[in-house]
Amino acid sequence: LFPRRPPTVPPPRWPAGRVSRRTASSGDAPEDGAPRAKVARFVNELRDDPEFAEDVRVYVRALVICLTVRFLLIEPRYIPSLSMYPTFDIGDQLAVDKVTPKLTRPIIEKDAFPVHRNEVVVFKPPPAFQALVTGQAKKDALIKRCVAVAGDEVEVRKGVLYINGKAQDEDDFINERPHYDLPPVTVPPGEVFVLGDNRNQSLDSHVWGFLPVDNVIGRAVFTYWPPSRIGGVTGAP
């Protein structure tokens, strides 16, 4: 006797157009290609849209102008203390002119300086100031009023500031008259003498000495925030 052959099982028949999962070709296109195609079409449409291209050009030009003004011409500054009160209060934001000193410096006379009396200047702290403070205060820019330039004689006597022997009328912008005296000193070449408008609450030249003109970043020209304090700075050109 011979063993019986097992019955032959025919393969499954699929309806027309149907493909078995087990026999699906691995070469089928991936389903995530559609979103990428849509993105590509959208980008191409924007690229070919003249209005969109013009908007991009306008925004780029505006950005370049803003950055140029910010880094080369006008710099915004924030007031963190009361050393310049009442000219500036805590939280005031002001515009600092950075270009005028740079343009003036090459054309001025040999013994003249771009910083003038009564101007409010922003400057990098000199070494004498840094020796008196710690931490971030060593690096933060300062703001004070220039009261004397090279060659001037400065003196504070009985609450009155004297420049070259002449009493200065400062009641319009200082908080109060100084409670200290300063013997006569002459400002050396290349330096200025600066004081805070809040004379008795300011760490300034009457404590740490003269300020090198090279440390000056620019001069304060106007306050733009808050709205109630918008206006020019007393002593600004």
Which active-site residues does the annotation give? 83
Cα gap 108→2, rounded to integer Å: 123
| Closest residue by Cα to residue 87 from 147, 159, 145, 163 | 145
Cα gap 119→52, rounded to integer Å: 46
| Closest residue by Cα to residue 44 from 53, 31, 34, 54 | 53
| Closest residue by Cα to residue 235 from 107, 98, 87 | 87
Cα gap 190→151, rounded to integer Å: 10
Distances from the Cα of 107 to the Cαs of 2, 102, 103, 187, in angstroms?
Answer: 121, 10, 8, 22
Backbone angles phi, psi at 103, to 5 degrees: -75, -30
Backbone angles phi, psi at 37, to 5 degrees: -65, -40
